[in-house]
Amino acid sequence: MRKEIRVFYVFSIVILSGLWEGLARSGIFPSEVLPPFVTTLCGSIQLIVADELPKHLLASGYRWAIGFSISLVLSVPVGIWMARSKRVYHFLDPLLTLTYPVPKAAMIPILMLWMGAGDLSKVTVIIIGCFIPLVISAYHGAQGVETSLIWSARAMGMGEKKILFRIILPASLPTVFSGIRMALAISLIVVLGSEMIARQSGLGYYLFNSLEMGLYQTTYSVLIIISGIGFLLDRILSLVMKNVLDWV
């Protein structure tokens, strides 16, 4: 991206925060309902450096990292398997289509009944939440591998196992990565949702507690932190993509 064009993405953030600031200062809303942006941002920084928020951040981050990695490790092989075998595809496709629209938040109370209100149920719901978009992307990636690539590898004397790991997997990577990007957003929503329902610790716990206690400024500050984390994770991911997929 050219430097001059990159400025626009700073613009949009500046305009958004300017609008916020203006609206808050205009007095349309009482200041406890919509505190000014600058105050809120200072609050966010304060929360991160001073308060007990880092503890909750770590708790959420730890659950998210475990759930997301397990989901990734499980879903990619399943997606590729679906692409390679018509039977597996026809077996799993209705299951995925049926469960996809089920709100993941609705599953949390059920999972809690089974697994307790601790980390296990929360990690499980993250795994489930990311699983389908990841499977679908891996399936499409593996499905789209050109036959001529596989035939070329066969002609070179590669066996089926080698073709799977050295041809189909790398060839599916670009699609898998776009699935990871989608699952990233979903996973953050699921983490916060699960912490809202089973309140013990975490960013979601902190967010909804402050909301219920009427500490709106803290709520806004936490929201800024959450969107900042989402933004940061997405940037990191696109940086990784740029390096891993420099051949695309």
Partner 1 sequence: MTKLVVQHVSKVYTTGKERQEVEALAGINLEVNEGEFFSLVGPSGCGKSTLLYIIGGFIPPSGGKILVDGREVSSPGVDRGIVFQEFALFPWKTVIQNILYGLEQRRIGKEERLAIADRYIKMTGLRGMENLYPKELSGGMKQRVAIARTLAYDPDILLMDEPFGSLDAQTRVFMQDELLRIWEETRKTVLFVTHSIEEAVHLSDRVAVFSRRPGRINEILPIPVSRPRIREEEVCRRQYIDLVNHLWKAVEREVKGFPCSIKQGVFQQTSAHVRYAKRN
Binding site for partner 1 (CB under 8 A): 146, 148-149, 151-158, 162, 167, 170-171, 173, 246-248
Q: How far is the CB of 240 from partner 1 (least distance, A)?
A: 15
- The CB-of-90 to partner 1 minimum distance in angstroms stands at 17
Q: Tokens for 208?
A: 């909804």
Burial of 164 (0-12, 13-18, 19+ CB in 10 A): middle
Alpha helices in 101-158 (DSSP H): 104-115, 119-143, 147-155
- Residue closer to partner 1 by CB (options 29, 151) is 151
Query: Residue 50 phi/psi, 5° resolution?
Result: -105, -55
Contacts of 37 (CB under 8 A, 6+ apart): 17, 18, 20, 21, 24
Taking 3-state DSSP, the helix, strand and coil percentages for the chain, each rounded to the nearest 5, stand at 85, 0, 15
Please, are residues 141 and 176 in contact by the beta-carbon 8 Å criterion? yes
Closest approach of partner 1 to the CB of residue 242, in Å: 14
Q: Using an 8 Å Cβ cutoff, are 148 and 93 in contact?
A: no
> At its nearest, how many Å lie between partner 1 and the CB of residue 231?
29
Looking at the Cβ atoms of 153 and 182, the one nearer to partner 1 is 153
Nearest distance from residue 148's CB to partner 1, in Å? 4
Closer residue to partner 1, CB minimum distance, 6 or 162: 162
Tokens linked to 88: 């597996």
For 179, the token pair is 């699935």
Which residue number, 70 or 158, has a Cβ lying nearer to partner 1? 158
Q: What are the CB-based long-range contacts (under 8 Å, 24+) for 163-167?
A: 164/80, 164/84
> Considering the complex, what minimum distance in angstroms separates the CB of residue 140 from partner 1?
17
Closest CB to partner 1 among residues 8, 247: 247
Nearer to partner 1 by Cβ, of 4 and 246: the residue is: 246
